Amino acid sequence: MRGFTPRNILSRKGFRSVAVLGGLLIGSIPLEAFAFGFDDVARQAEELAQQGYSAPETAMPNELQELSYAEYAQIQYKRDRDVWSGTGSPFTLSFFHEGMHYNSAIQLNSIDQQGDVHGFAYNADDFTYGDLNIPDGVKNSDDLGIAGLRINYAMNDADRKDEVMVFLGASYFRAVGRGQVYGVSGRGLAVDTGLPSGEEFPRFKEMWIVEPSQESQYLTIFALLDSPSVTGAYRFVLRPGDETLVDVQSRLYLRRSVEKLGIAPLTSMYLYGPEQPSSTLNYVPAIHDSNGLLINDEQNGRTWRPLVNPARLMMNRQETPELGGYGLMQRGHNFSDYQDLDARYDLRPSAWVEPLNDWGAGSVELIQIPTSNETNDNIVSMWLPNEMYEPGTPLAFDYRMTTSVDEERHLDPQLAWVDETRRSRGEVVRDNLVREADGTLAFVIDFVGPALDGIGSNANISVQASVGDNGNLASSRAVPNPVSGGWRVFINVKRENTSQPLDIRAQLMRDGKPISETWYYRLPANG
């Protein structure tokens, strides 16, 4: 370790002060005086880290393990058995059945308003099984438990509680705001993602949900994380609304050194869109849960990275000396952009991660994985610390995750932003108006935002563009876009070696000064 101690590394003496700091930062929600709370989970995590790792038992019957996705979806919790249903609570809980690849149980508990802890037990009678012909002996197997947790809240209809957050599988969780549908996912932690040695998937092995009062507008969840390399204590504070906030307090304990410790990981899906058009004919113009990665480095400004579906695994990092936030974003919520009545990609939110304590220097990594269909999450992004931590020192990383369709709130109003990226062949228009390919690859980037309001065509607007060593910039220009009220940038490039990626960057300038976020496109190899 280097010769300083950043604030995300805690000594035993620092536990109390950081807990108070978390209470102040997390939406002004005070730290609750529970008989069981975050410090109790942290003690369990610390003790667990001193022990050898024990893999979860996975003795699920074959009849459940071999279910397809559609078959598994038929197993539903009976909503009239929701925890806290009929009590006047603004939140209720329902559970997921084990099945498919969800083959390990999680111990779920509640903390009642007197501070007492109560465990939940699996009961086959709590579920309906649709058309599945699952024998009673399988349903009532002693090897079965609860696979995950649904949190319900009357957000869209006062008379009906809809899912607003889900914990299911490893340390994955999803949240939605009003009128949204599930898309991008969060994770508690990522370990060695993308390394040849193989990835670990830390899992929440036990959770405690605090029973809210009838007037409460938030729900508190504690979780204990476990994996071969690391344990952790988590506190989630969920606040549903037009945009749903999840404030996360975490304390991590290493069992052994970790090469890649991925903090606040996000997972999403990108199949195709204007940034990388489909190679097959389809009336749906875009299929993606997210179409770009936005990074705010307080020192170096904002960067927008359009996503792609590469022909082979593509990974790279962007240094962030002082991370202001990052997120996998869904820019564009017009139905006409997607035309999908079933998937409703237009209603899928962006997820933005904002540190609530000092994370120090690091980098945001983007991993893009080839996929042939929309059922696979092929996009991963996470923050990686520059510090190499050693076992024995607790680590604290606190942050807020916002799921929203109002992406402008995460932007700098002093800078224009990318509204859409379109990828095309380069072409010239002959005197006879015939369009012909010119041998280049073209990108058309529309910038919008208040920073461009009132800028006429006579303004000194230019494009600062660059390409990596594997190509050259054929041309670049910017023109006013009277339809959007912004400016349109044209970038034409030539790549030398198609088996290698090519990095392309562009930024709008006025009188030689930046007036937009940086657009950064990594052209995939063989793509």
Whichever domain contains 179, its CATH number is 2.70.98.10
Q: Which helix (H) or strand (E) holds 394?
A: none
Count: domains in the chain? 2
- What is the predicted pLDDT for the residue at 33? 54
User: Domain for residue 2, yes or no?
Assistant: no
From 310, 306, 234, select the one nearest 40 (Cα to Cα): 234
**CB count, 10 Å around CB of 226?**
23
428 & 293 share domain: no
CA within 13 Å, CB half, 194: 22
Three-state DSSP string of 493-526: EEECCCCCCEEEEEEEEECCEECECEEEEEECCC
337 & 372 share domain: yes
Q: Which residues contact 60 (CB under 8 A, 6 or more apart)?
A: 98, 99, 103, 143, 144
449 & 355 share domain: no
CA within 13 Å, CB half, 50: 6
User: Domain for residue 92, yes or no?
Assistant: yes
Q: Are the C-beta atoms of 392 and 252 separated by less than 8 Å?
A: no
Q: Are the C-beta atoms of 93 and 78 separated by less than 8 Å?
A: no
433 & 306 share domain: no
Residues 18, 45: Cα–Cα separation, whole Å: 17
**CB count, 10 Å around CB of 185?**
22
233 & 373 share domain: yes
Residues (pLDDT < 70) of the chain are: 1-34
Residue 443's CATH number: 2.60.40.10
Which residue type sits at 233? A
63 phi/psi in degrees, rounded to 5? -60, -30
Residues 121, 105: Cα–Cα separation, whole Å: 10
Give buried/exposed letters for 43-69 (b at 16+ CB in 10 A, else e): ebbbebbeeeeeeeeeebbebbeebee
**CB count, 10 Å around CB of 376?**
12
Domain boundary among 410, 426, 446: 410
247 & 347 share domain: yes
Structure tokens at 332: 């564009």
Domain boundary among 349, 376, 410: 410
Q: Are the C-beta atoms of 447 and 417 separated by less than 8 Å?
A: yes
Q: What is the largest CA-CA distance in the chain?
A: 82
Sign of CA dihedral 481, 482, 483, 486: positive
124 & 17 share domain: yes
474 & 493 share domain: yes
Residues 132, 137: Cα–Cα separation, whole Å: 14
CA end-to-end span of the chain: 40
- What is the predicted pLDDT for the residue at 428? 83
Structure tokens at 245: 């906030």
Residues 23, 372: Cα–Cα separation, whole Å: 44
Integer-rounded Cα Rg, in Å, for the chain is 25
Q: Which residues contact 363 (CB under 8 A, 6 or more apart)?
A: 317, 318, 319, 320, 383, 384, 386
- What is the predicted pLDDT for the residue at 1? 27
CA within 13 Å, CB half, 40: 13
User: Domain for residue 6, yes or no?
Assistant: no
- What is the predicted pLDDT for the residue at 34? 59
335 & 477 share domain: no
223 & 313 share domain: yes
User: Domain for residue 5, yes or no?
Assistant: no
Structure tokens at 177: 């705001």
303 & 159 share domain: yes
Question: What domain range includes position 136?
Answer: 12-410
- What is the predicted pLDDT for the residue at 4? 26
Q: Are the C-beta atoms of 378 and 217 separated by less than 8 Å?
A: no
358 & 454 share domain: no
